Structure 1
Amino acid sequence: MSKSLEWVSAGALNTLQEEGSKVIKGGIAVFFHDNQVYAVDNRCPHLGFPLHMGSLCDGILTCHWHHARFDVCSGGTLDPWADNVPSYEVKIEAGEVFVNSMPKQANHADSYKERLREGLQQNIGIVIAKAVVGLVESGVSDKDIARIGIEFGTTYGNGWNSGLTILTAMVRVLPKLDKTGRILALYQGLVHVARQSSGRGTRHLLGPLPAAETSLERLLKWYRSCIEVRDTDGAQKVLLTAAQKGLDSKQLADLMLVAATDHYYLDGGHVFDFHNKAFEALQWAGSEQTERIVTSLLHMMNMPVRSEELHQWQAPIQLVEPIKQAVLTLTNTTAFTSEEHKSVLDEESFLQQLLSDKPIETIEKIRDLLLAGVEPVKLAQLVALAAAERIIRFHTQNDFSDWIAVLHTFTYAHAVHVRFMHSTEPLLLRAIFHGAASVYLDRFLNVPAAARPQHKQRNGAAEGELAVNGSSTEPDDLLNILDQRQQVAAAGQWVVDYVANGGSSKVLWNTLGHALLREDAEFHTFQMYEAASEEYDHWTTYGNDFALRAQETMLLACTRYLAAHAPTARELPHTAKIAWRLYRGERLFEEE
């Protein structure tokens, strides 16, 4: 007989009747059941167990590894944690069984997208992982994949959360990662979105105000008033009205962040940081998601901690009133110094002022520099640098939980820096003062201060340094160091030596990314990597000694924080590894 190359022989029908099943070329399992012949992929789509070793009863094929069940005819699964198994067309000619080598249902990008949505809804890591691998391998863009997570996370649950922040942060760092890192970053972000939003009700939006010629200034006043009295329903209607009027993302960000800085350092910096991440996501999530993204932030404005009410902002040194007066002076100034009379900023001197124990002088210095025409974005960048320096100087004899205190200040300062790259709103200047005050308040965590590692030419390991295979020259050596707990000093020393010896910063950031993504990292660690890597990039354009040291500061701050929080059980990356191995056709179950 004549047959196309798509058809593969499964042997004689009577032989198949006697044996019940067989595996043919291409890894296809063929079954004789209820006087019919069926063919499916022999690998269980859950974790790859050979399905010909399973049981077939009443048309249901059951895998004997985790008991996933499949309709042997269509390949459809009865269990949401298992994907459908590909099924194949069968024909019988002259007593011989032939199987079409192409499955009935091809795995296209659209099916992976739908499977990702299902994985998010059911909060099943292996489903999310396999969908991410399939989408990446199908050539779907990273942002298109992440967009599904943003849509899901802002539709269900209470609103913007740490999972959405992680996902957005991971999208930001994807250019620093290799393909494996990209898959891990997207997977980790999406899993955390599922954990935060799955199983929660739909977040229904209110309607905007009737169409009217309302000015931006009036909308800002209304919004600030609603936030001041914690009226998030009224604030939502104002926001939706603003969006309907066509305000762009920059205008919406200014409107919301002005209200977020009416009070000091809300919720330990999280409010400003989460707002920043939401507007970063909006840049690529699509204008159709504007209303859901911006309104998702309102729940955190209901009962945030207002730091001006906290004791440490009032005593022993009063910080609230001096900041208030400095901002008042700035807002009452009709014009800053002209371009030709701008002050020249001494970066090192200002950095040391930020790190000093003289906060009133720091507040006055920031005010004077702004009045002298120094760009707010530059001051914000230096506040972020000072916050990173606190992390370098953080001594491991502090309480372990205090790592988060210095982390909060850094990620807040980074968010402020990012916002000033997009905004010239004068009222946001308050955020620079708030960040500088938090840098000051963290000073006790640098007493005593950890020593900054210095590069030394040597044959052996320095005191306190972990020697890895007799040397510390390859990026994998850093990962080996981080396989052991609390190797903060050793990891920092390795990074300093690596850079001093001409190591590639590109390779190093990829390695640090893998150090993060191979762990079951908690929320703040994702923040640390993203903020440090982006601040590092912002210093690349300067090329002077101060900038080079600032870049080293970002590398050290990130490395020390990662080292303090590793290793973990690494369950999440293990799931992603399984998904990728299954996609490549590797067998997780091996017959003895």
Structure 2
Amino acid sequence: MVDGWIKAGTVEELRREGAKVIKGGIAVFAREEGVFALDNRCPHMGFPLHMGSLCDGMLTCHWHHARFDVCTGGTLDLWADDVPAHEVKLEGDVVWVNPKPARAGGAERHVRRLREGLEQNLSLVIAKSVVALLEAGVPERDIVRIGVEFGTANRSDGWGSGLTVLTAMANVLPKLDGYGRMLALFHGLRRVASDCAGRPPLFRPEPLPDGGRDPARLAAWYRQCVEVRDATGAGRVLLTAIRQGFEPPALAEMMLAAATDHFYLDGGHTFDFHNKAFEMIELLGGDAADTERILTSLVPLLRNPSRSEESHSWRHPVDLVEPVRRAIGELERHGIGVGGAVTASATATAAAGQPYGFDAERFVSLLLGDEPLETIRAMTEALLGGVPPAALGKLTAYAAAERVSRFHTQNEFSDWIGVLHTFTHAHAVHVRLRQGGSGPEVRALYHAAVAIYLDRFLNIPPAPKPKPEQYGGRGYTTDTGELLALLDRRQQVAEAADWASHYMDAGGDAAKLFNALGHALLREDADFHTFQMVEAALAEYDLWAEEDDGPPLRERAKRTMVLALVRYVAAHAPTAREIPHTARIAWRLQRGEKLFEEE
């Protein structure tokens, strides 16, 4: 017999025993129709298969009743996955078993299995596929692309929370350790599958017939279609623009113009989802096919979004809509906000405390204050004075994060989502402005400023900021395990903020903290908004850390991002943690660990 094969015993012995577990955790079954060998761990949850029932060639696991073809290991229940089978040979009456599975299970098989998991919305199958693909050396970007291809094709409502979570998790991968990266990919892909489950597919129209068209006319047509909620027409125009060779900046200008013709669509989600879609295109490398499938999935979002200018809060007791319209009109008369680059005549290097050539501290105070009309005037004057829009976007995102960091827990719990929406929208606007956006992004900047104002009551009273004299004697260290232990208990909002403040005071390593916060998210059955919060806060921290905005302002903003993030996560933890438990099972099964041991 070939070296390495395992002697299982004689056929007679095996038939007498019914099932025998041999070295390597392989179950050998002997029946009149032959001898068969399978991995003894049920691929669903690891239960020992030798304790199952074998009848008419079908092996049934006794725990969840998953059924397997004993000859090949193939399952009749897709949620269980196939069990690896092993080759068996006879030398006379002696049975030998090959310790290597008969089917190697290469990357292509795991890709197919991942797609099946997405189609059937099977969390365990998705998790096992992710683990197997990572161990096979498949690049994370290729794994993400599988989710994008599925999510953009199988949800008639187009881009949704699932693809947004997948993008957010792809963005935070560099901050996580190996196990965290697996969890992030699993959570993102699982959310895509859940978002598409039970939905009809997205049918895309064909582009307009071939022929060169004026780019300005296509952009105008797209906006007209969106204005009258004509998704089919908008889709045809968009596909035509893509096929005609529009570059991503031009596509962003066209699409975001339509997405900002009305105020703060769907509570900021519409702009945020557009930004995430363009981020995903960049993450995947800008492939033409990816660009088409991703951008066309955004069009359904514009069928019937809520328009904030139609809401009472944006009109009364202070009309915030008309002042913004007048401000945007004034900018456009000066050539700002009508497309193309914004002229920045003022220097971005300024005296201490005024890093953008104007009083940044005062601008943040206005954003957080009670005079929205003064805020609108200050923003307009800054833009007319040549302050880079991205600089104002950065300060606006900081102010929005302050709302989260000072959110008082005396508010209704659901109000956390209100400050979250404003912050993630402001972050998306900041990102797009950094990409060189000028027209629609500037309009969205005003929308963010108004939303920050409208959130002011959620900071009345403001939650107190952590003070060293209050937490200094609690014996905190810089062991991030202390934070995770705090988050094992409900509503440790103030306590978690105290710990994080101590960590920063003590010079704790930011990379270790961010990895821990990533795990704090990924070990929970987190809701969509918590994923948004974690990714946006970490991104804004990095953006503030990489630029010289003057030490006092920069350090306060970085601290605010951490405190806002920690407080939000603490408010939403712990959960049942069913989803990460599934991921842990998949991880252990893939690594060959035994989940059940006989007494």
Tell me how far 1:287 sits from its aligned partner.
2.4
User: Relative to structure 1, is the Cα distance of residues 341 and 492 closer, same or farther in structure 2, using a 3 angstrom cutoff?
Assistant: closer
Q: TM-score, normalization: structure 1? A: 0.95
The match for 2:12 is 14
Alignment partner for residue 495 of structure 2, among 483, 490, 496? 490
Counterpart residue number, 1:465: none
- Distance in 2, Cα, partners of 1:309 & 1:459: 49
1:319 corresponds in structure 2 to 320
Alignment RMSD (CA, Å): 1.6
Equivalent residue runs for 1:469-480 within 5 Å: 471-480=476-485
SS in 2 for 1:513: helix
- The residue type equivalent to 1:185 in the other structure is A
Distance 2:72 2:194 in 1: 31
Q: In the alignment, which of 557, 562, 571 is matched to residue 578 of structure 2?
A: 571
* Mapped partners of 1:567, 1:241: distance in 2: 48
**Residue in structure 2 matched with residue 436 of structure 1 by the alignment:** 449
CA contact (8 A) 1:55 1:64 kept: yes
Structure 2 counterparts to residues 78-89 of structure 1, below 5 A: 78-89=76-87
Structure 2 residue matching 1:165: 3-state secondary structure: helix
1:140 is aligned to 2:141: no
| Alignment partner of 1:557 is 2:564 | yes
The letter of the residue matching 1:227 is V
Per-residue CA deviation, residues 462-516 of structure 1 (Å, 9 max, x unaligned), is xxxxxxxx54431011111111111111110110001101111111111111111
8 Å CA contact 2:8–2:28 kept in 1: the answer is yes
Instruction: Give the Cα separation in 2 of the matches to 1:460 and 1:413.
Output: 37
Deviation (angstroms), 1:400: 0.9
1:62 aligns with one of 60, 63, 73: 60
Structure 1 stretch displaced more, 549-558 or 91-100 = 91-100
Counterparts of 1:514 and 1:77, CA distance in 2: 33
CA distance, structure 1, for counterparts of residue 472 and residue 560 of structure 2 = 25
SS at match of 1:73: coil
Distance 1:519 1:437 in 2: 33
8 Å CA contact 2:344–2:387 kept in 1: the answer is: no
Aligned residue runs from structure 1 range 254-333, under 5 A: 254-285=253-284, 286-333=287-334
Unaligned runs of 5+ in 1: 462-469
CA distance in structure 2 between the aligned counterparts of 1:314 and 1:501, rounded to whole angstroms: 47
Instruction: Read off the aligned partner of 1:375 and give its amino acid letter.
Output: P
Distance 2:250 2:541 in 1: 28
User: C-alpha separation between the residues in 1 aligned to 2:408 and 2:18?
Assistant: 67
| Cα pair 2:345 2:387 within 8 Å, conserved | no
Give 3-state SS (helix, strand or coil) of 1:81's partner.
helix
Aligned counterparts of 1:81 and 1:576: Cα–Cα separation in 2:
14
Partner of 2:460: 447
Distance 1:338 1:572 in 2: 49
Alpha-carbon distance in structure 2 between the residues aligned to 1:375 and 1:387: 19
- Which residue is equivalent to 2:353? none
Work out whether residues 347 and 357 of structure 2, in 8 Å CA contact, stay in contact via their aligned partners in 1: no
Q: 3-state DSSP class of the match of 2:468?
A: coil
Q: Deviations over 1:47-92 (max 9, x none)?
A: 1111111111111111112111111111111111111111111111
What is the alpha-carbon distance in structure 1 between the residues aligned to residue 519 and residue 394 of structure 2? 26
Conserved? CA contact 1:163–1:189, under 8 Å: yes
Counterpart contact for 1:406–1:442, Cα < 8 Å: yes
CA distance in structure 2 between the aligned counterparts of 1:546 and 1:16, rounded to whole angstroms: 75
Aligned partners of 2:389 and 2:438 also within 8 Å: no
Return the letter of the residue paired with 1:235: A
> Does 1:514 find its partner at 2:519?
yes
Conserved 8 A contact 1:337-1:372 = no
What is the CA distance between 1:590 and its match in structure 2?
2.0
Tell me which residue corresponds to 1:464: none
Q: Which moved more, 1:470-479 or 1:53-62?
A: 470-479
Confirm or deny: 8 A CA contact 1:122 1:199 kept in the other structure: no
Determine if contact 2:253/2:439 at 8 Å carries over to the other structure.
Answer: no
Q: 1:384 and 2:397 equivalent?
A: yes
- Deviation string, structure 1 residues 308-332 (Cα, Å, up to 9, x no partner): 1111111211211111111111111
Asked whether the 8 Å contact 1:275–1:297 carries over to 2, the reply is yes
**Structure 1 range deviating more: 293-302 or 470-479:** 470-479
Which amino acid is the alignment partner of residue 425 of structure 1? S
The answer to whether structure 1 residue 526 and structure 2 residue 531 are counterparts is yes
1:181 corresponds to which residue?
180
Give the distance between the partners of 1:175 and 1:411, measured in 2 at CA.
Answer: 20
Change (3 A) 1:341 1:138: closer
Q: Separation in 2 of the partners of 1:299 and 1:541?
A: 36
The corresponding residue for 2:45 is: 47
Q: Structure 1: how far apart are the matches of 2:153 and 2:402? A: 38
Tell which deviates more after alignment, 132-141 or 118-127: 132-141
Aligned pair count reads 582
Q: Give 1:338 shift.
A: 6.2
Residue identity matched to 1:392? S
Normalising by structure 2, we get a TM-score of: 0.94
Determine what percentage of the aligned residue pairs are the same residue.
Answer: 56
Q: Given the alignment, which residue of 417, 420, 425 partners 2:438?
A: 425
1:174 aligns to what SS in structure 2?
helix
What residue is the counterpart of 2:362 in the other structure? 349
Change over 3 Å in CA distance of 1:506–1:531 after alignment to 2: same
Separation (CA, whole Å) in 2 of partners of 1:278 and 1:102: 43
> Who is 2:92 aligned against?
94
- Looking at structure 2, the residues matched to 354 and 344 of structure 1 have their Cα atoms a distance apart, in angstroms, of 18
Contact 1:308 1:314 in 2 (8 A): yes
Residue in 2 that maps onto 1:29:
27
Q: Distance in 1 between matches of 2:487 and 2:100?
A: 45
Taking a change above 3 Å as real, the CA distance of residues 255 and 459 of structure 1, as seen in their structure-2 partners, is closer
Q: Which residue of 2 aligns with 1:364?
A: 377
- The residue that corresponds to 2:547 in the other structure is 542
Matched residue, 2:163: 164
Give distance in 1, aligned partners of 2:103 and 2:479.
45
Alignment correspondent of 2:591: 584
TM-fit CA distance, 1:459:
6.1
| 8 A Cα contact 2:345 2:385, kept in partner | no
> Cα distance 1:16–1:424, how it changes in 2: closer, same or farther (>3 A)?
closer
Q: 1:466 maps to which residue? A: none
Structure 2: state its 5+ residue gaps: 337-341, 349-355
Question: 1:456–1:497: 8 Å Cα contact kept in structure 2?
Answer: no
Name the residue aligned to 2:339: none
For residues 282 and 343 of structure 2, what CA distance do their matches in structure 1 show? 33
Q: Which amino acid aligns with 1:248?
A: E
Matches of 2:29 and 2:321, distance apart in 1:
76
Give the counterpart letter for 1:105 in structure 2. R
Q: Deviation per CA, 1:355-388, whole angstroms, max 9, x where unpaired?
A: 1111111111111111111111110011000000
- Quick check: 2:406–2:465 contact (8 Å CA) kept in 1? yes
**Does the 8 Å CA contact 1:63/1:69 hold for their aligned counterparts?**
yes
Separation in 1 of the partners of 2:471 and 2:413? 32
Residue 457 of structure 1: CA displacement? Answer: 8.3
1:341 CA displacement: 6.4
Equivalence for 1:409: 422
What residue is the counterpart of 1:499 in the other structure? 504
Kept in 2: contact 1:254–1:423 (CA 8 A) = no
- Does the alignment pair 1:230 with 2:229? yes
Report which stretch shifted further, 124-133 or 552-561: 124-133
Q: Give runs of aligned pairs for residues 211-230 of structure 1, distance below 5 A.
A: 211-230=210-229
Letter aligned with residue 499 of structure 1: M
SS of the equivalent of 1:539 reads helix
Give the C-alpha shift of residue 293 in structure 1: 1.3
**Native 8 Å contact 1:165 1:277 kept in 2:** yes
Q: Distance in 1 between matches of 2:343 and 2:132?
A: 56
